[in-house]
Amino acid sequence: MKKKSKQLLKTVFGYDEFRPLQEEIINRTLEGKDSFVLMPTGGGKSMCFQIPALCMDGITIVVSPLISLMKDQVQALKSNGIKADFFNSSISPEEENAVIDRAMKGELQLLYLSPEKLISVSNTWLRELNIKLVAVDEAHCVSMWGHDFRPEYTQLKNFRNSLPQVPFMALTATADKSARKDIEAQLGLKKSKLFISSFDRKNLSIEVRGQVPKKKKLEEIGRFVSRKKNESGIIYCLSRKNTEEVADYLKADGHSVEFYHAGMNPEEREKVQTDFINDDSKIIVATIAFGMGIDKSNVRWVIHYNLPKNLEGYYQEIGRAGRDGLPSETRLYYNMRDFVLYSQFADGGANSAMQKEKLNRMLQFAEAKSCRRKILLSYFGEHLTEDCGNCDVCDNPPKDFDGTVIAQKALSGIARMGEKEGITMLINVLRGSNNAEVHAGNYFQLKTYGVGKDVSFFDWRDYIIQLANQGLIEIMYSESSALKISPIGWKVLKGEKEIKLTRPVTFEEKKKKTKPVKLVTEGEVNEGLFSELKKLRYSISREENVPAYIIFNDKALRQMASELPVTENEFLAISGVGMNKMQEYGEEFMEVIRKYKSVAKPKKIPTTLTTFHHYKEGLSPKEIAEKRELSITTIYSHFSQLYTEGKKIDLKKFVEKKVVDEVRVAFNELNREPTMKPIYERLEEKVSYGEIRLSLALILKSE
């Protein structure tokens, strides 16, 4: 059985190796045991139950609340030659009967059902099936502590109890410790084993922008989208009105964009979603209801127009970008108005205290001055030892300074106004504003009036939020967001304690400093051929009425455009190409590649590859340098570039760990600028340029 699962991975799905934990989960399931799978969006959860389904004689039941995802996954399974179908409210009575008939005859390997449908048929024809495995997807929906509770999920425990000998698998991308325990209990899992995959999606860059006025925000989004021509992206908004406003703004600028929200009729929503999935429209501006059932692999960016309600939802939403593993961008905009609105929504609702606590954690993440990926992963119980290097904070590390005097000015203003005013009023008083509200409160007579006029409104707001994050003040949302001084704040105000603050950085400064993160995932791609392969894929998808990425995802096409396969064996070596897809589409795609090769000019072999060939022959760096009549520093430069591109070169043979550690310290002290000379000088010219280059390659690749 275990050998068969590895064979199926290659012949059916076209992959050489399992992702972390997949094989262990599959083997446990084949032993008839329950499992709880916690994997990030795009982490490969589906494979954990799909391969056991193909190994077993009988049918696998998959419970999912997402109708569009069922359709998507069934289409993908069918494209790989697997017998699968779905049973939910979207199909007609005639179609229902056809699905039931196929299931009863043993013609299906996997059957997807919505929880409502499963409950309604669990005591009828479903009891007659030879069920060998039940997978409960989006399992967090069963928990009151989850962020998307659905009452119908709580009835699944009865179904579980009716199949005591059948292994159950719960799968979710988002569940904190409270929710995990609840899920196990609510589903009645028996001695289940918890599998937690890494939540670190290294290919996603993370950026957060705070307190940006609406007009400027739209302009920034417009510029961002213009840089992403012909790439798919999602913009999430808090309100229906926002989705339409943002979509209209971008449409007026000539972009392929549609909006999506619950106020539209089902037919309109279905068309918008289908057009996006099929690449007929590139951008969707939507409320968070959109995307739950989308397995679209080539979404290249996600923008949050407003602050999300919790980190679970935020993580799941940004996880819809880059599911093919290629570099993708995420950006979050937020302001305090979002926070106040969500707080008001939470008042009086179910689990109000928990919702507010999660909202607070979301705000802390947005206003953080440390590596955002560290904060995000620690929330899910995973800890990075080093900063990620692929978020806005890592790109522009903040610099501390003694902020005691600034803090005392702000705290004094709060105290003198009787701790009953909010952030905006405090800043207006500190900056000496002449507006009517300041005069109405007689605040212009206070000693603190105008003491901070040399500091901009933007900077004051940033400092005050830092004071709140450090626990010097509290924002009392129940009292119109009035600022209150904490015991620690009083100590600072009285001069009994000093504090550090960080200098605010404007977006313009960030743009100047930010270093583009280059994630090399394949060899050199022939962009012209890649474009031709995409056209062919689109044409086939229209003929077969399936999403383009169901045929091949972008990663597979890019690999084809790099490796130029023209035989069946070469084509089967492409990641994601199984036997069924080879037989269905291989010849058409190889024909395009053959035509390209016949007219393409032969390329000169890059100098780095010549060095690599000599390395594989066993030559030392010194011997390669002599043979090629190049300096040893140039050879080391070639090695570092090849290593970054993913070539198998053991750099650790050529540079000592002690040297790498010294370079790492100097690199961090120099604001992580990967330039040779400053690091060379910082190390007192004791480490060669070649060793510095090798060390930087090791440091950056390890992150």
Phi-psi region of 419 (alpha: psi -120 to 50; beta: other; left: phi over 0): left
In this predicted model, what pLDDT tens digit does every residue of 58-116 receive, in sequence order? 999 999 987 877 888 899 999 999 999 999 888 899 999 999 999 999 999 999 999 99
In this predicted model, what pLDDT tens digit does every residue of 678-691 receive, in sequence order? 787 788 778 887 88
Please answer whether residues 230 and 287 qualify as being in contact, where contact means their C-beta atoms are separated by less than 8 angstroms: no
Question: Does position 355 have pLDDT exceeding 70, yes or no?
Answer: yes
Helix H, strand E, coil C: the string for 486-525 is CHHHHHHHCCCCCCEEECCCCHHHHHHHCCCCCCCCCCCC
Please answer whether residues 614 and 627 qualify as being in contact, where contact means their C-beta atoms are separated by less than 8 angstroms: yes
Share of the chain above pLDDT 70, in %: 93
Report d(CA 694, CA 317) in Å as an integer: 37
Question: Does position 667 have pLDDT exceeding 80, yes or no?
Answer: yes
Report d(CA 419, CA 434) in Å as an integer: 21
In this predicted model, what pLDDT tens digit does every residue of 209-249 receive, in sequence order? 988 989 999 999 999 999 998 899 999 998 899 999 999 99
Pairing between strand 110-113 and 84-87? parallel
Please answer whether residues 339 and 313 qualify as being in contact, where contact means their C-beta atoms are separated by less than 8 angstroms: no
Pairing between strand 168-172 and 283-286? unpaired
- 93's CB contacts (< 8 A; 6+ apart) are none
Strands across the sheet with 232-236, in order?
204-210, 328-334, 299-304, 232-236, 283-286, 257-260
pLDDT of residue 433: 93
By mean pLDDT, which of 198-212, 344-358, 412-426, 525-539 is the weakest? Answer: 344-358
Question: Does position 509 have pLDDT exceeding 60, yes or no?
Answer: no
Pairing between strand 193-196 and 35-38? parallel
Report d(CA 38, CA 292) in Å as an integer: 17
> pLDDT class for 453, splitting at 50, 70, 90?
very high
Q: How far apart are the first and last CA of the chain?
A: 37
Question: Does position 475 have pLDDT exceeding 60, yes or no?
Answer: yes
pLDDT of residue 462: 82
In b/e form, how buried is each residue of 379-406, taking b as 16+ CB within 10 angstroms? bbebeeeebbbbbbbbbbbeeeeebbeb
pLDDT of residue 505: 63
Mean pLDDT over 415-441 rounds to: 94
Q: 211 φ, ψ to 5°? A: 55, 45
pLDDT of residue 603: 55
Report d(CA 135, CA 138) in Å as an integer: 10
Mean pLDDT over 509-520 rounds to: 43
pTM for the whole structure: 0.62
> pLDDT class for 516, splitting at 50, 70, 90?
very low
Please answer whether residues 74 and 53 qualify as being in contact, where contact means their C-beta atoms are separated by less than 8 angstroms: no
Q: Domains in the chain, start-ordered, CATH in brackets?
A: 2-196 (3.40.50.300), 204-395 (3.40.50.300), 400-504 (1.10.10.10), 527-599 (1.10.150.80), 607-702 (1.10.10)
Please answer whether residues 308 and 288 qualify as being in contact, where contact means their C-beta atoms are separated by less than 8 angstroms: yes
SS3 content of the chain, % helix, strand, coil (to 5): 50, 10, 35
Question: Does position 175 have pLDDT exceeding 50, yes or no?
Answer: yes
Report d(CA 646, CA 641) in Å as an integer: 9
Q: Which residue spans within 76-176 are E strands per DSSP?
A: 84-87, 110-113, 131-136, 168-172
